[in-house]
């Protein structure tokens, strides 16, 4: 993946943020926030900023690679058939405003996520923090970078390890089992409700491990590649690679080292076996 493409994607993410997102931070009117669905205590919302940012990104990405399909979160919500394009020869995957719930509540973190996939496998991923301007990117086989500097994942060094476990989309039974049988092995911290923040934390020495239940491609494609290229590990609990065209499957572990990933995978798999 050449530097020119990364520079162009970075500029496009910054443009979407500056035009559609940041000007509406803490200024949204009630009618500019719409609930898409509710899962447990979490309401999944969309704002006018999501919609306008996706339009800006879609137009720009289409100019960069006209041959690539574009799967945006809001387009897929409006028409689930869009998801059929995830296995195309080339496909852009766009989360125009990751952390929308935080954004709608007037608090950070939130960001923009873009990935480029080839027949279901992620080739490159870009993560942009709208408030700080932090820009993370990775290319398959080419390493991971933060603001242009190559980076290697580092652990927190804490004992027990620091975990941010997303339990929102788990069944009540599975959630209870994770809380009673896995959580005691870790120092728990709150999830940021934003993959654009969660994945960098695993590389930057802030969190050691994170588990996710829902694994939609716009949330995870860029971050999984970023962690893996930094020398951490992100994969399904059975060790198989995350594929963007396998979006209906549940479960994903991200960790700052292979050892920490293995410990969590062993515990989650033992939990699953005990429930069978």
* Domains identified in the chain and CATH numbers: 3-150 (3.30.540.10), 162-275 (3.40.190.80)
Percent of the chain topping pLDDT 90? 85
pLDDT, residue 247, reads 79
Give 40's pLDDT tier (boundaries 50, 70, 90). very low
- 19 versus 33: the higher-pLDDT residue is 19
Residue 140: is its pLDDT beyond 50? yes
- 169 versus 268: the higher-pLDDT residue is 268
pLDDT, residue 24, reads 97
pLDDT, residue 167, reads 86
Average pLDDT of span 47-72: 97
What one-character-per-residue DSSP string does 126-142 give?
EEEETTT--EEEEETTT
**Average pLDDT over all residues of the chain:** 94
């Amino acid at each position: 993946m050449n530097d020119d493409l990364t520079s162009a994607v970075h500029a496009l993410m910054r443009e979407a943020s500056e035009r559609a997102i940041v000007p509406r931070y803490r200024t949204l009117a009630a009618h500019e926030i719409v609930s898409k669905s509710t899962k447990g205590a979490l309401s999944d919302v969309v704002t006018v900023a999501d919609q306008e940012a996706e339009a800006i990104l879609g137009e720009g990405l289409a100019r960069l690679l006209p041959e690539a399909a574009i799967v945006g979160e809001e387009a897929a919500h409006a028409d689930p058939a869009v998801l059929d394009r995830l296995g195309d020869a080339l496909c852009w995957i766009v989360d125009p405003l990751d952390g929308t719930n935080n954004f709608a509540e007037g608090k950070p973190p939130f960001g923009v996520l873009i990935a480029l996939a080839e027949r279901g496998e992620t080739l490159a991923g870009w993560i942009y923090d709208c408030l700080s301007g932090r820009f993370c990117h990775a290319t398959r086989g080419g390493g991971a970078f933060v603001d242009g500097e190559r980076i290697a994942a580092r652990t927190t060094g804490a004992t027990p390890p620091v975990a941010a476990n997303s339990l929102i989309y788990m069944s009540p039974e599975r959630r209870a089992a994770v809380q009673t049988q896995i959580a005691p092995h870790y120092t728990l911290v709150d999830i940021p409700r934003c993959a654009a923040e969660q994945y960098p934390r695993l590389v930057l020495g802030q969190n050691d491990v994170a588990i996710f239940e829902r694994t939609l491609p716009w949330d995870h494609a860029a971050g999984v590649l970023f962690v893996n290229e930094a020398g951490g590990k992100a994969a399904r609990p059975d060790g198989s690679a995350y594929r963007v065209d396998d979006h209906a499957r549940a479960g994903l572990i991200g960790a700052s080292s292979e050892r920490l990933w293995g410990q969590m995978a062993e515990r989650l798999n033992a939990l699953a076996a005990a429930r069978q």
